[in-house]
Amino acid sequence: MLLLVNILLSACSLAPAYQRPDAPIPTSLNGAPDTISGVTDVSTPPVALSESERHFLAAFSAGHDLAPLVEQALAHNRDFRIAELQVEEARALNRIDRAQQLPGLNAAGQLSREHFSNSDLDARYGQDVGSVTLGASDFELDFFGRVRSLSEASRHRYLASVEGQRAFRGALLVEILRTYVIERAASAAAQELRAVDSDTQTMLSLVERQAQVGALSQNELDQQRSDAERTHMRWLQAQTNEATSLNALQLIAGYATPPSGGTLDDLAFAGESVEWLRALPSDVLLQRPDIMQAEERLIAANADIGAARAAFFPSIRLSTSVGTASDGLTGLFERGTGVWMFAPQVTLPIFDNGRNQANLDLAHLRKQAAAAEYEKVVQSAFHEVADAIAARDPLIERLHREQALSATERERVRRASARFDAGWEDRPTLLVARMRFARARVACIEAHRELALNQLALYRALYGVQTSAAPAMARAQ
């Protein structure tokens, strides 16, 4: 009979059937969005952005709406999903620890049969007893705060996970925008270098014809060929940069839709002063989510010390139940079958080979490590803000100068084109002016890219910091 019951129970399983997750990637290795199958995140709802995040996106890109791209990328990103699940995991663990502070109520049924082949022993010790009880089992009376300290530590670890999710969200949002800026800059630079390569090849053809009639020396021809080869290789590298940056943007956006357009010119210039930041007290950085996360971990480590200290004191546990018992199932609920049990237990540690002391020392060491980690995060936050502020003014000046040079080269191209159309200028002069202008445009694109990345670094450094004095482009609440 027992064998049959064991076989029947072994065939039962409450575990869900395993199903391999679908791969959220294109169906072919070329990564083209049009090869997306039905296993991707197309049906995943975008993650809603906060009001402050939308405000920053609108200020950062006034000419192109980046909110759909960011929302889709947040919904697709697996690290962000893991961070959300870790918060839920920490919440569940905290609920478990809090539940230990209250007694649990259990219902139990038991049937006991004990008989002996010896008739005398069977008459004295044999029994048939069935019982049904309701009560609490092994509940610890927390006189010394051990369970309360563990629950407090668990609560602060949960709060740390919440702050960690906020910090990761800010970092991910900046990474999405950083990838977008790099991709747009790479695309614009590739277009300019394509024009430079085309003009260089045209110039090489003219120089080769001049060399054939003896108007140029072989050294001048070789020099032009070398310049054309270097320009072509630079364009090939620009093509590679454009392709890899596009792949990175598609990956971070989840391949659900092709990345939207937009240019660097759509991004706000963000040339406003940051002098207001220099005047802020450094303790405003304590509002950053990563710093608050480190502080919650430090508080949790401090609570662990209380639990380790409580282990030196007596542990008082209580088991109690009330119910009914009878020598037959039919008599369980008859009058006079009541039964109750009250079993307190006190355990006093006397000799444990130094285990409790080692646990207390370990708790102190972990608190010291958490304090050092907190100080390290604070220092890193200050360093990030200081670096972003220090780089901003030189980057703004660089962009001003590159824009001025680009405007000068544009005017030179206009004059050269007018003289060429009038027959006063030869074609090589016009080609040289056009190539100089395209190279100036590439330098201007790079300067604009670096300033935009600096703006993102400043936003990342101030993410979660509420300052009423912050201008629109730098407010990171």
Chain segment 161-181, per-residue pLDDT in tens: 999 999 999 999 999 999 999
The answer to whether the Cα torsion of 399, 405, 411, 416 is positive or negative is negative
Q: What's the CA gap between 434 and 202, in Å, rounded?
A: 12
Instruction: Check if the beta carbon of residue 120 is closer than 8 Å to that of residue 312.
Output: no
The answer to the question of residue 15 being in a domain is: no
The answer to the question of residue 16 being in a domain is: no
Q: Which of 348, 371, 399 finishes a domain?
A: 348
Q: Based on the fold, state whether residues 340 and 389 are members of the same structural domain.
A: no
The answer to the question of residue 243 being in a domain is: yes
Counting the structural domains of the chain, the total is 2
Confidence bin at 275 (pLDDT 50/70/90): confident
The answer to the question of residue 32 being in a domain is: no
Q: Based on the fold, state whether residues 159 and 294 are members of the same structural domain.
A: yes
Instruction: Check if the beta carbon of residue 25 is closer than 8 Å to that of residue 239.
Output: no
Q: Based on the fold, state whether residues 457 and 337 are members of the same structural domain.
A: no
The answer to the question of residue 5 being in a domain is: no
Q: Based on the fold, state whether residues 252 and 371 are members of the same structural domain.
A: yes
Q: Based on the fold, state whether residues 126 and 236 are members of the same structural domain.
A: no
Q: Based on the fold, state whether residues 56 and 113 are members of the same structural domain.
A: no
Q: Based on the fold, state whether residues 236 and 112 are members of the same structural domain.
A: no
The answer to the question of residue 418 being in a domain is: yes
Q: Based on the fold, state whether residues 209 and 271 are members of the same structural domain.
A: yes
Write down the pLDDT at residue 28.
67
Lowest average pLDDT, out of 91-105, 347-361, 412-426, goes to 91-105
Query: Which domain range does residue 120 map to?
Result: 104-141+315-348
Write down the pLDDT at residue 11.
57
Q: What is the CATH number of the domain that holds 334?
A: 2.20.200.10
Q: Based on the fold, state whether residues 122 and 224 are members of the same structural domain.
A: no
Q: Based on the fold, state whether residues 338 and 428 are members of the same structural domain.
A: no
Question: pTM score, two decimals?
Answer: 0.80
Q: Which residue has the tokens 């996360």?
A: 293
Q: What is the CATH number of the domain that holds 305?
A: 1.20.1600.10
Q: Based on the fold, state whether residues 333 and 441 are members of the same structural domain.
A: no
Chain segment 48-64, per-residue pLDDT in tens: 888 889 999 988 888 88
The answer to the question of residue 465 being in a domain is: yes
Among 320, 319, 331, CA closest to 129: 331
Q: What's the CA gap between 344 and 103, in Å, rounded?
A: 14
Write down the pLDDT at residue 350.
86
Chain segment 383-405, per-residue pLDDT in tens: 999 999 999 889 999 999 999 99
Q: Based on the fold, state whether residues 376 and 387 are members of the same structural domain.
A: yes
Write down the pLDDT at residue 271.
59
The answer to the question of residue 410 being in a domain is: yes
